[in-house]
Structure 1
Amino acid sequence: MHSRKPFYIFVILLFVAGIGASIYRGIQHNVPFLPGEQVQSWAIDAKISFNGRNQPAEVQFSLPNDPAFDILVENTTSPGYGLTITDDSNRKAIWSIREASGPQSLFYRVTLVPTGKLALHAEQEPADTELYLWPATEKTAAEQIVEDVWSRSATNLSFAKQLMTLINDDNQSQNMSLLLSTNTSTKLFLQMLHTKGVPARYVSGLLLEDQRRRQQLTTYVQVYQDGEWHLFDVQNNKQGRDNNLVLWEYAGGSVLEVMGGSNSLVNFSMLQDTRSALATSIDMMMTDDALDFSLYQLPLEEQSLFKGILLIPIGVLVVVFLRVIVGIKTSGTFMPVLIAMAFIQTTLLIGLIGFLLIVSFGLMIRSYLSTLNLLLISRISAVIIVVIFIIGLFTLISFKLGLSEGLTVTFFPMIILAWTIERMSILWEEEGPKKVFVSGGGSLFVATIAYLAMSNQLVQHWVFNFLGIHLVILALVLVMGQYTGYRLTELKRFKPLVGEK
């Protein structure tokens, strides 16, 4: 007996590959699993202004590179300036001009989409921190505070938390008051961390608030612990970051450097917007030139074509289930799938009416052709021509009556209808009208179920955006192809046996 083990292994591999590919696409490329999902985006404008000195000028401006936000699109406005954008981890926009005189304005706009990745992992261990040397007037006070807190901490992170709490304590000691009189709380916090060689650095962050203008960057401190940088907002006595905080610069450099100018300043304006999650994902893949095998890379005409073609496996799955498992008889194997495709174009009600009218008139004309004793090829050809004539006649009548819905009957597959009429006519002659109504009714029922499945928005979203789903469909079809048991419709034969108990 031939072993089915390789078959089942193959089916499992198909199923796992299909599910895995779909999950990977949803997570890696942020393709939404449900249609109609929305995401929030932030449009941020940065205005850089300075006064030129009638000499060459160069402006270096740090650009956001925060893993918590994806850059959807960015552009600049700088008439007369040359522009270079560095493509390393510390991204910068560099404007240059031969002569800048008087007030100058440069603009940078970026659209950010939150990713939810708030943790900032270090790519490598930070270099050894240079110990901070206190001025003589502050040394004794600072060392007393640092040593006291250091003895009550276990890690760099706990040391930083206790320091921040002590700096913001309402009942401050004389030593702390002395230090705060000559330093800001954020600066003092970083200096105390460096006193013990704790890896820490300044970061510049922009707090996003809808419809805010002329905003400035805020200085925060990041502390390194176990491969991750932890954010501290010393001024507000808060550890951790909010979802709406963009780390604009966290490499330890300055945000804005102007050479050949004075009185430089950068202001930020921001606006929150709601976008389609799917459209955002597509734009991101196009921007990043991601290695993606989605159909959105094709021209729109081909995309529209594939949106219809990729629904056929769903119809096939429905037909296989209803014929193999349920046991519904149809006229033709996959004729219901093509009829369901036509229903998608015509709507269900108009499609059913059109199908019944065309088949009814076709059967009447086919009964006359049977009296002529034509050859099969001639008879089928005549039926095809008649079907075309019937469809054209119904279309003209609908147009004359102002029924625009009737114009959609042209979407029916004419060759398939002709063969359906031929089969039904032969079945009528050989086994009677009952068999015709059973097979015809079964075909319409299966076509209707297939239409309901294929027209579902969730199904249409999945089969087009997650191509791995088709591997799952193939696996299910193969499994059902192994079924040799009773159909559900055949169980009625066992009903008398149940009644005898």
Structure 2
Amino acid sequence: MHSKKPFYILVALLFIVGIASSIYRGIEHKVPFLPGKQVQSWGVEAKISFQGTGEPAEVSFALPNDPAFEILVENASSPGFGLSITDDPENKRADWSIRSATGRQVLYYKVTLIPTGITRIKAIGTPEVTNAYIWPATEKVAAEQAIEEVWAKSATNLSFAQQLNKAFNAEERSQNIELLLSSNSTSTLFVHMLNSKGIPAQVVSGLNLEDQRRRQQLVSFVEVYDDGEWHLFNPKDGTQGRPENLLLWDRSGKSTLDVIGGINSQVTFSMLQDTRSALATSLDVMNNKGALDFSLYQLPLEEQSLFKGILLIPIGVLMVVFLRVLVGLKTSGTFMPVLIALAFIQTTLLTGLIGFILIVACGLMIRSYLSQLNLLLISRISAVIIVVIGIIGVFTLLSYKFGLSEGLTITYFPMIILAWTIERMSILWEEEGPKEVVLQGGGSLFVATLAYLAMSAPWIQHWVFNFLGIHLVILAIVLLMGQYTGYRLFELKRFKPLAGE
């Protein structure tokens, strides 16, 4: 007797690989597990303007760099200018250039972003400690006293930044802080005082995202490094952490906009919030990352539509195996109900049931006449196929004449399968009687109906096409049911008398 251990190992591997690949696709590629899910996206437009002086002009503009947002689409509008975008992820910039710029010049940069849910900013390596700021003679004593006073109240780099932020926004600020703020901006002074203690910190620019806002400006924040992570502070209002809907635009620590060959430069931002399909968004993200190379979405639309139908067949097969092996239903043909269920998807359930019953009933009547002619099998089947085509054509014309548009869809029925079904039922009628025909025909329609309900469910259609690992799970379940050798559910009624009262 052969050991079944390799079989169960195979089934377990199919389960694990199928479920793991589906979970990975949902988490890593952000493919939604349920159809119809929507995500919020932001469209942001930066408008750069300057006055050209008639000389060659170069414009360098920092591009958004924030792990909390994923860039879906970005483009620039710059008539007459050359454009290049650097690929440095830490300092991504757009550089425009032109031989001669005279008068007012306007450049546009547009980007579509989606939130990623990542609010913490991990540092790549340990940042270098910036050299201590050299204070002017008029500020040196006040700066040293203010720093030492706050330093004594802290224990770590982060707590020092927190206490310093608190001192900047106290109701009664110390005279030293007031003196320093009179000649320094809040963010710059905050960074200088942190750097004086060897704490990595930098000024970053952020954009508060608000729907349908125009002519917005960047807001300065301060990033402070501690224990492998950057912490965000706003020393102007004393808050710590990331505000809701904040986009960190420039984290390079350098100027956001540089213009050579122009004067009176400025940049303003407009933004618009939108709702889009989570599935379409995940496809755009995968396309940007080059993860669609082995995806069905790489196929032309016609082939995609074909595969969406083909990949539903395992669901129907699973339903047939369950109902025949475990329940014990009888059907006319093993997998004929699956093909009929596919036709029901095109015709709708009620129209499909009526059409199937009418075609088979008419076919059986004509087949009973053909049986009297003593034809060879191949000729009889061929005649039945031609008769089925004729019946479908007549029903289609009658439906059109009476204005029943639903009747036009019965052409989706598989004609060869219908012909074989009629032939099989006719022989069964002759050998077993009409009761067996009704039993098997009714069982086929019942299985086809259940398969249709499963195959037409939107979430199942979404799963079988977007999570191909599900098919490995279905295969594992079919293999397990194939090992079942016990009594079927319908067979138990035969043993009911043995159960006594």
TM-score class normalised by the smaller sequence: over 0.9
More moved, 54-63 vs 366-375? 366-375
Separation in 2, partners of 1:6, 1:222: 56
Aligned to 2:129: 128
Give the match's secondary structure for 1:40. Answer: strand
After TM superposition, the structure 1 = structure 2 runs for residues 66-465 of structure 1, keeping only pairs within 5 Å, are 66-89=66-89, 90-465=91-466
Separation in 1, partners of 2:40, 2:263: 37
More moved, 282-291 vs 13-22? 282-291
Separation in 2, partners of 1:276, 1:243: 22
Say if 1:398 and 1:177 are closer, same or farther in 2 by CA, change over 3 A.
Answer: same
Aligned to 2:45: 45
Q: 1:385, CA displacement in angstroms?
A: 1.0
Q: Do the aligned residues in 2 keep the contact of 1:116 with 1:243 (CA within 8 Å)?
A: no
More moved, 67-76 vs 282-291? 282-291
Q: 1:114, CA displacement in angstroms?
A: 0.9
Separation in 2, partners of 1:353, 1:58: 73
Give the match's secondary structure for 2:135. Answer: coil
Give the match's secondary structure for 1:497. Answer: helix
Separation in 2, partners of 1:188, 1:253: 16
Separation in 1, partners of 2:481, 2:43: 51
Q: 1:138, CA displacement in angstroms?
A: 2.1
Q: 1:213, CA displacement in angstroms?
A: 0.8
Matched to 1:28, the amino acid is E
More moved, 210-219 vs 150-159? 150-159
Q: 1:294, CA displacement in angstroms?
A: 2.1
Q: 1:39, CA displacement in angstroms?
A: 0.6
Aligned to 2:6: 6
- For normalisation by structure 1, the TM-score amounts to 0.98
Q: Do the aligned residues in 1 keep the contact of 2:129 with 2:195 (CA within 8 Å)?
A: no
Separation in 2, partners of 1:324, 1:191: 77
Q: Do the aligned residues in 1 keep the contact of 2:69 with 2:247 (CA within 8 Å)?
A: yes
Aligned to 2:56: 56
More moved, 483-492 vs 337-346? 483-492
Give the match's secondary structure for 1:251. Answer: coil
Q: Do the aligned residues in 1 keep the contact of 2:292 with 2:298 (CA within 8 Å)?
A: no
Separation in 1, partners of 2:147, 2:4: 72
Separation in 1, partners of 2:243, 2:495: 66
Give the match's secondary structure for 2:441. Answer: helix
Q: 1:365, CA displacement in angstroms?
A: 1.0
Structure 1 regions of 5+ residues with no counterpart?
A: none
Aligned to 2:22: 22
Deviations 1:473-494 (A, max 9, x none): 1111111111111111222223
Separation in 2, partners of 1:207, 1:499: 77
Separation in 1, partners of 2:292, 2:38: 24
Separation in 1, partners of 2:364, 2:441: 12
Q: Do the aligned residues in 2 keep the contact of 1:39 with 1:275 (CA within 8 Å)?
A: yes
Give the match's secondary structure for 1:182. Answer: coil
Q: 1:357, CA displacement in angstroms?
A: 0.4
Q: 1:122, CA displacement in angstroms?
A: 1.3
Say if 1:221 and 1:81 are closer, same or farther in 2 by CA, change over 3 A.
Answer: same
Q: Do the aligned residues in 1 keep the contact of 2:40 with 2:276 (CA within 8 Å)?
A: yes
Give the match's secondary structure for 1:186. Answer: helix
Matched to 2:415, the amino acid is M
Separation in 1, partners of 2:218, 2:499: 79
Separation in 2, partners of 1:181, 1:243: 30
More moved, 483-492 vs 313-322? 483-492
Figure out how many residues of one structure are paired with residues of the other and give that number: 500
Q: 1:431, CA displacement in angstroms?
A: 1.0
Aligned to 1:472: 473
Matched to 1:245, the amino acid is L
Q: CA RMSD in A?
A: 1.2
Separation in 2, partners of 1:149, 1:317: 70
Separation in 1, partners of 2:227, 2:292: 33
Give the match's secondary structure for 1:55. Answer: coil
Q: 1:68, CA displacement in angstroms?
A: 1.1
Q: 1:135, CA displacement in angstroms?
A: 2.1
Matched to 1:125, the amino acid is T
Q: 1:243, CA displacement in angstroms?
A: 4.0
Separation in 2, partners of 1:6, 1:152: 66
Separation in 2, partners of 1:225, 1:291: 38
Say if 1:406 and 1:304 are closer, same or farther in 2 by CA, change over 3 A.
Answer: same
Q: 1:293, CA displacement in angstroms?
A: 2.5
Q: Report percent identity of matched pairs.
A: 73
Deviations 1:127-160 (A, max 9, x none): 1221122222222222222223222222111111
Q: 1:328, CA displacement in angstroms?
A: 0.8
Deviations 1:152-176 (A, max 9, x none): 2221111111110111010222222
Separation in 2, partners of 1:292, 1:498: 61
Q: Do the aligned residues in 2 keep the contact of 1:118 with 1:243 (CA within 8 Å)?
A: no
Q: Do the aligned residues in 2 keep the contact of 1:74 with 1:109 (CA within 8 Å)?
A: yes
